[in-house]
């Protein structure tokens, strides 16, 4: 199921408080205690929806499952849930 690009951007910058690094793409950088833990990117293009393939890529870059990422974007998972996922794979303490 595709996700609205605007909704994905809002989840990354709002819920996860990712910083945006502007280069050829928009890089969304997630920091924990000041250190970069994960990052993902989105094109500057006019995409209105993000398809299954890119959802999977972004989920991999953020170190979560595709279903978790989808739930994060659709507001059923929280920032704390994301931190719990990162703790479960020893990326943060």
Sheet containing 35-42: give its strands across: 19-22, 26-32, 35-42
Q: What is the spatial distance between Cα 24 and Cα 41, in angstroms, rounded to a whole number?
A: 10
Q: In this predicted model, what pLDDT tens digit does every residue of 40-80 receive, in sequence order?
A: 998 776 678 999 999 999 999 999 999 999 999 999 999 99
| Residue 34 pLDDT class (50, 70, 90 cuts) | very high
pLDDT of residue 43: 78
48: tokens are 């209105």
Each residue of 2-29: pLDDT tens digit?
A: 999 999 999 999 999 999 988 778 899 9
Can you give the pLDDT at residue 18? 96
> What element of type H or E holds 24?
none
């Amino acid at each position: 199921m595709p996700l609205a690009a605007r909704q994905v951007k809002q989840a990354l910058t709002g819920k996860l408080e990712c910083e945006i690094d502007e280069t050829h793409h928009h890089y969304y950088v997630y920091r924990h205690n000041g250190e970069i833990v994960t990052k993902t990117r989105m094109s500057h293009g006019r995409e209105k929806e993000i398809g299954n393939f890119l959802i999977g890529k972004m989920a991999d870059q953020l170190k979560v499952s595709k279903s978790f990422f989808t739930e994060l974007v659709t507001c059923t998972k929280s920032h704390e849930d994301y931190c719990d996922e990162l703790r479960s794979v020893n990326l943060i303490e």
